[in-house]
Amino acid sequence: MTQTSATTAPEIRTDLMIAGRWQQASGGARMEVTNPATGETLGEVASASIADVDAAVQAARVAFDDGRWSRISGRERSRVLLRVSALIRERAEELAQAESMDVGKPILFARMIDVPTSADQFEYFASLAQHLDGSVRETPLPAFAFTRREPRGVVAAISPFNFPLILSSSKLAPALAAGNTVVHKPAPQTPLSALVMAQILRDAGVPDGVYNLVVGPGPELGDALVRHPDVDMVAFTGSTAVGRIVARTAGEHLKPIVAELGGNAANIVFADADVDKAIGAVINAFVFNTGQFCMAGPRLLVERPLYDTVVGILGQAVGGVPLGRPSDPGTVIGPLASQAQLEKVEEMVKDAVASGGSIITGGHRVDLDGGFYFAPTVIAGLGNDAVAVQEEVFGPVLTVQPFDTEEEAITLANSTAYGLAAGVQTGNISRAHRVANRLDAGIIWVNGWAMLDPAVPFGGVKSSGWGRESGPEALESFTRSKSVIITIDPEVAS
Ligand code: NAD
C-alpha cells in the first residue's frame, strides 16, 4: 500500500476490484487508513464513488446472468472455495498483520482466531455448496412436485469495522457457495483485509465479476448499494441504528436482507458456578477484541451470595490483563479501533459515573504511543435503566448487578432492546437448560463465552436483527426456493 508512516504494513493492492480487475476509483479519489495503535496514517486506499458502485453492481449482474458461476455445478464452486480456504492459510501471516494493524487487534488473536476462522468458513461452505438440495413433495396431484434451491442473484455484502475478515467471510462464503455474485463494501475504517481477500479470491479462480470490492464512505456507498435495482439481496452486519436504515430501504425495494446488528448481552453467574471458570468467562466476554464485539457480555449479573466475591476478584484481576501494542504477541487488550470509538466509550463511562456508578477498576484512557487505548473497566452500583447498562458500549467496559432469584436474573437479562447472545454460568444442568430456554437471544453459552463455529447458526432477535449467518441456515438465507410441478398424466390434469 502507499505508506505514509514508518509502520510496516504488508504490501497490499489498494484499488477497487471490479469485473476481475484492480481499478482506481473514478476521479482517482483516495482515503487515509489510520493505525489505531499510534493514531498515525498507515497509508491510502481508493475511495469509490457512486459510479464505481454502479460499475461493480453491473459487473456482478453480468457475471450472475451469464451463469459463469451461478450455473456451474456446486462441486465446481466447492473446489474453488476450497482453494480460497487454502490460500487464506498460505497467506495467514499477511492477513493477520493487515487485520492487526487496521483494527488494532492483538496479533495473537488475529493469528489464532480471525484468520483460521475465515479459512474454516470457506472450507465449511465449500462442502455445503455440494448440498444445495431441494426435496420431493408428495401430493394428490397427477404430477411430480419438487423444490429447488437457487441463488438469489447479486448480493450486497456490507461489513463492520470490528471483525473485518470474519464478518466478510461469513457473507462471502455462503453467498458464493450458493452461486450468487457479490459486491462487497467493508467498513471504511478497516478495509485492508478485504483488499488482501480480493486478490486471494481472484488467485483461487473465482471468475471475473463474481466478487467485486468497493471501498469508501459508508453511508453513501452503502445506501447506493442497498437501493441499486440490480442488487437482489443485502447481507448487512453493523449497528442497530444503521441496520434500521438499511432494512427500511431494502423494505421499500422488497429486497431480502440478513441483518446482524448490535448486542448487549447479559452474562449470568449463579452462586453454584465454578467461580474460577466463571471469572474467566466473564473477563473474556468483555475484554476480547477490546470489547468491540457484538456478542460481548458487558452486563454481568451475579447471584447475591457471590456478588462481593466476584466484584472483589474482578477488581484484582482485570487490571492484570495484558494491555499493550497489538504487535506484541503477549497483548490481550489492544487499542480501540478509532478515535471516535475511544471518545464514545469515554463518554459512556463518564455518564455511568454521573448516574451513580462506582468504578471498581479502570475508567480512564491509557497513554501509549498516541494510540486509542482505554483501560478495562468494571462499574458497579448502576440502576438497570442506566445508559451504560441499556446501550451497547462497544469497549472494554463491564457493569455488574446483583440478583436474588433465577426469575429476577432472567428478567434483568431480557430487559434490553437487544437479543444477540447471553451466558449462563452454573453448576446445575437443569438450571442451565431452564434459563437458556427463557433467554431472549440468538445464541446462549453455558459455562463459557464466545465459542463459535461455521457450522453453528449465528444471529440475533429483537434489535439485534434477523436472519442467520453460519450453518446450513446461512445457505438458506442466500438461496430462494422454487417449486416445480411436472404433469404426469396430462388427461387428468386438463
Ligand atoms: P456501522 O453500522 O456504523 O457500519 C456497518 C457498515 O455499514 C459499514 O460498512 C458502514 O460503512 C456501512 N454503512 C454506514 N451507513 C450506511 C448506510 N446508510 N447504508 C448502508 N451501509 C451503511 O457499524 P460499525 O460501527 O462498523 O460496527 C459496529 C456495530 O456492528 C456494532 O453495533 C456491533 O454490535 C455490530 N456488529 C454486529 C455483529 C453481529 O453479528 N450481530 C457483528 C459485528 C458487529
- 26 plus 172 within the same structural domain: yes
Q: Given this model, what pLDDT does residue 8 score? A: 45
User: What DSSP string describes 377-414?
Assistant: EEEES--TTSHHHHS---SSEEEEEEESSHHHHHHHHT
Name the residue of 158, 168, 221, 416 to mutate for ligand 1: max ligand atoms within 8 A of Cβ: 158
Asked whether 218 lines ligand 1 (CB < 6 A), one says: yes
Q: Is residue 286 part of a domain?
A: yes
- 401 plus 337 within the same structural domain: yes
Residues 94, 260, 303, 469: which is the catalytic one? 260
Find the CATH number of the domain harbouring 134: 3.40.605.10
424, β-bridge pairs = 268, 446
DSSP assigned state of 111: I
Q: Is residue 10 part of a domain?
A: no
- Centre of ligand 1 to C-alpha 345, Å, is 17
- 227 plus 294 within the same structural domain: no
Q: Is residue 218 part of a domain?
A: yes
Q: Given this model, what pLDDT does residue 4 score? A: 39
Asked whether 239 lines ligand 1 (CB < 6 A), one says: yes
Is 81 in contact with 129 (CB distance < 8 Å)? yes
- 307 plus 240 within the same structural domain: no
Active-site residue flag, 473 = no
Q: What is the pLDDT along the chain (494 residues), one digit of tens a residue?
A: 544 333 445 579 999 999 999 999 998 999 999 999 999 999 999 999 999 999 999 999 999 999 999 999 999 999 999 999 999 999 999 999 999 999 999 999 999 999 999 999 999 999 999 999 999 999 999 999 999 999 999 999 999 999 999 999 999 999 999 999 999 999 999 999 999 999 999 999 999 999 999 999 999 999 999 999 999 999 999 999 999 999 999 999 999 999 999 999 999 999 999 999 999 999 999 999 999 999 999 999 999 999 999 999 999 999 999 999 999 999 999 999 999 999 999 999 999 999 999 999 999 999 999 999 999 999 999 999 999 999 999 999 999 999 999 999 999 999 999 999 999 999 999 999 999 999 999 999 999 999 999 999 999 999 999 999 999 999 999 999 999 999 997 776 65
Q: What is the pTM of this model?
A: 0.96
Name the residue of 33, 161, 452 to mutate for ligand 1: max ligand atoms within 8 A of Cβ: 161
Q: Please, how many CA atoms are within 13 Å of residue 53, restricted to the half-sphere of its CB?
A: 26
Q: Given this model, what pLDDT does residue 281 score? A: 96
- Centre of ligand 1 to C-alpha 147, Å, is 35
Asked whether 237 lines ligand 1 (CB < 6 A), one says: yes
- Going by CA atoms, what residue is nearest to atom 9 of ligand 1? 187
- Centre of ligand 1 to C-alpha 188, Å, is 11
- Centre of ligand 1 to C-alpha 159, Å, is 6
Asked whether 259 lines ligand 1 (CB < 6 A), one says: no
- 341 plus 223 within the same structural domain: no
- Centre of ligand 1 to C-alpha 371, Å, is 23
Count: domains in the chain: 2
Q: Is residue 1 part of a domain?
A: no
Mapped onto helix, strand or coil, the DSSP state of residue 147 is strand
- 388 plus 361 within the same structural domain: yes
β-pair type (373-374, 365-366): antiparallel
- 415 plus 470 within the same structural domain: no
- Centre of ligand 1 to C-alpha 190, Å, is 12
Backbone conformation region of residue 15, classed left if phi is above 0, alpha if psi is from -120 to 50, else beta: beta
| Nearest atom in ligand 1 to 469's CA | 40
Q: Is residue 454 part of a domain?
A: no
- 148 plus 270 within the same structural domain: no
In order of 11, 125, 454, the CA distances from 169 in angstroms are: 21, 10, 10
| Nearest atom in ligand 1 to 240's CA | 32
- 226 plus 139 within the same structural domain: yes
- 349 plus 433 within the same structural domain: yes
Asked whether 314 lines ligand 1 (CB < 6 A), one says: no
Q: Please, how many CA atoms are within 13 Å of residue 371, restricted to the half-sphere of its CB?
A: 26
Mapped onto helix, strand or coil, the DSSP state of residue 312 is helix
- 257 plus 274 within the same structural domain: no
Q: Is residue 490 part of a domain?
A: no
Q: Given this model, what pLDDT does residue 397 score? A: 98
Find the CATH number of the domain harbouring 354: 3.40.309.10
Q: At what angle do helices 74-90 and 164-177 cross, to 10 degrees?
A: 160
Range of the domain at 100: 16-261+460-481
Q: b/e for 162-199, b at 16 or more Cβ within 10 A?
A: bbbbbbbbbbbbbbbbbbbbbbbbbbbbbbbbbbbbbb
Asked whether 157 lines ligand 1 (CB < 6 A), one says: no
| Nearest atom in ligand 1 to 465's CA | 41
Q: Is residue 406 part of a domain?
A: yes
Q: Is residue 9 part of a domain?
A: no
323, β-bridge pairs = 333
User: C-alpha cell of 142?
Assistant: 397427477
State CA 483 to chain mean position distance.
33
Rounded to whole angstroms, the Cα distance separating 281 from 386 reads 24
Rounded to whole angstroms, the Cα distance separating 368 from 380 reads 27
- 343 plus 378 within the same structural domain: yes
Asked whether 421 lines ligand 1 (CB < 6 A), one says: no
Q: Given this model, what pLDDT does residue 489 score? A: 79
